[in-house]
A and B are shown apart, each in its own frame.
Chain A
């Protein structure tokens, strides 16, 4: 990062009092972990909070998990580059979650089956091998998926606080945050995760609303829309225009990912559903959470849009314009637009409020990490190691192994974020790695729940089809000729990532159906039952 950029980023309202607010909040999180440690003795308590979560706490924890800092960062980036047209994703997410809440789509039958993880359902519905394979794919895609979360979190902290991005301080901040997450997650399991999610909800929801109000009052409601018209034209409002980053295939892909998968298939959301007191509470949780599922995209998009307006149309943000949009002919590369929102927030919010927002965002960062750590580690213990062991696996050993895996994953995340120098766009990386799991799992879960003829062989083919998503990675696209250099430096995509995702879902669906028809399972007896409804 050059001197001019560093100087521009250091002009923030973040002060010592804000650091104190953040520190107090973080210590509170660790204290919660220590306080509830004594309840985390059984696996049901450790990874499912004893299934004692009421509706409103369920809404808080669902929001706390899904409103992560990484979501806020990429959504703000989408708003910055796509304008109001990005709002369609928020609408899709909200409506799809409401649909899941009203119908219990996938999650209702899963809760009825009284499973703690998705692969556990695979075993109940199919067999142990599918549970292990499903578990491995889930962990493979999921752990890779969270590899760059810490990096995104660090970019937010740099943008808001003005810390030097390449200095030692930031690395130690990252290490400190990670250690705190590891302490309260390994000690208190799901119970401490849910309690910290509740505190996060309270802090962040009011922070989001106040900051949004201040952004509107600072920039002016009409000016925000006028500037988007000037800077982005119709594409800043209409998501159906092709070639602008959105278009119909993108909308359809969002319906699958941000809509149905985000609410009914993504394991961290499903683990919250499975911790609910009853199916009725679960449905209520989803109906109310539909608002926060929309807001988790909508408000960050709006902040990204406001950052664009601040940088391109206000005197206070004028010094940033050349950094984000270097003039034509300039040899300097534009600053990564992920920084736009945190820099904007750092400049418009007053001290104290900026501390509260930063504490809320760091809480969001931590809550995503704790949920992911707990989710993937419990899948490794419950769905991969336990089924493969021939000897009995005691509860104490399971909790112990889960804790060890959490710490190992913490090491991996730290390594990946601090030392990995990959050049991919982070969002593409996440979509592809997540897609390895969810494209196959979406089909297998949906057919497993609603189609009685779905067989183990069909499930195996459906899950394995998810590996086709690897083709969505840029180096692979170039290697197989799906991205070609039309002229020096200009690349043309034969198939976009959303199109590859939709094709993968389609292939998984076809393979699952054909595999089930070709090799049906032997009829299950009455005692075993068939979990398909």
Chain B
């Protein structure tokens, strides 16, 4: 395998994985944001 072929495979592979990760983080990260804010809010109400 040549260096050029190796870097082509690495580039296509990593960028494809990153595209998948971007979709997952956008959707599931929003869920985490909601959960974190909900917990912080309930903690705040308990303190009051």
Contacts and interface: CB of A to CB of B under 8 A. Distances in A.
B32 to A, nearest CB: 3
B33 A198 contact: yes
A288 B24 CA distance: 10
Contacts of B17: 291
A237 B29 contact: no
A194 B25 CA distance: 13
Contact of A288 (B19, B21, B31, B43): B21
A198 B29 contact: yes
Nearest to A240: B3
Interface stretch (A294-302, A347-355, A356-364, A457-465): A294-302
Interface in B1-48: 2-4, 7-8, 10-11, 14-15, 17-19, 21-22, 24-26, 28-33, 35-37, 39-41, 43-44
Given A57-B33, A201-B25, A38 B18 contact: no
Interface in A37-96: 38-39, 45, 49-50, 52-60, 63, 84-85, 87, 90-91, 94
A157 to B, nearest CB: 25
Interface stretch (A104-112, A204-212, A489-497, A506-514): A204-212
Contacts of A90: 10, 14
Interface in A192-219: 194-195, 198, 201-202, 205-206, 208-209, 212
Contacts of B40: 36, 39, 45, 50, 52, 191
A39 B41 CA distance: 7
A50 B32 CA distance: 14
Range class of the A interface residue count: 35 or more
B31 to A, nearest CB: 7
Contact of A298 (B3, B11, B29): B11
Contact of B18 (A50, A194, A205, A238): A205
Nearest to B2: A237
A295 B33 contact: no
A52 B42 CA distance: 13
A225 interface: yes
Contacts of A29: none
A294 B39 contact: no
Contact of B26 (A53, A94, A202): A202
Interface string A227-260: 0000000100110000000000000000000000
Contact of B36 (A57, A237, A288): A57
Contact of A87 (B11, B21, B33, B41): B11
A38 B43 CA distance: 11
Contact of B43 (A50, A60, A194, A198): A50
A292 interface: yes
A52 B7 CA distance: 38
Contacts of A201: 22, 25-26, 29
A59 B25 CA distance: 7
B22 A87 contact: no
B3 A53 contact: no
B36 A295 contact: no
Contacts of B33: 57, 195, 198
B29 A57 contact: yes
Contacts of A294: 14
Nearest to A86: B7
A50 B14 contact: no
Nearest to A194: B36
Contacts of A85: 3
Contact of A38 (B4, B8, B31, B44): B44
A291 B7 contact: no
Given A291-B18, A294-B14, A84 B36 contact: no
A169 B19 CA distance: 36
Contacts of B26: 201-202, 205
B11 A53 contact: no
A59 B4 contact: no
Contacts of B19: 209
Contacts of B31: 54, 56
B14 A237 contact: no
Contacts of B44: 38-39
A194 B33 CA distance: 9
Given A50-B40, A209-B22, A288-B21, A56 B3 contact: no
Interface in A283-307: 288, 291-292, 294-295, 298-299, 302
12 contacts: A84-B4, A85-B3, A191-B36, A194-B36, A201-B29, A225-B8, A237-B2, A288-B25, A291-B18, A292-B21, A298-B11, A298-B15
Interface of B: 2-4, 7-8, 10-11, 14-15, 17-19, 21-22, 24-26, 28-33, 35-37, 39-41, 43-44
Which 9 A-B pairs have CB atoms at the shortest separation, nearest pair first?
A54-B32, A57-B32, A56-B28, A237-B3, A205-B22, A56-B29, A39-B40, A84-B7, A295-B18
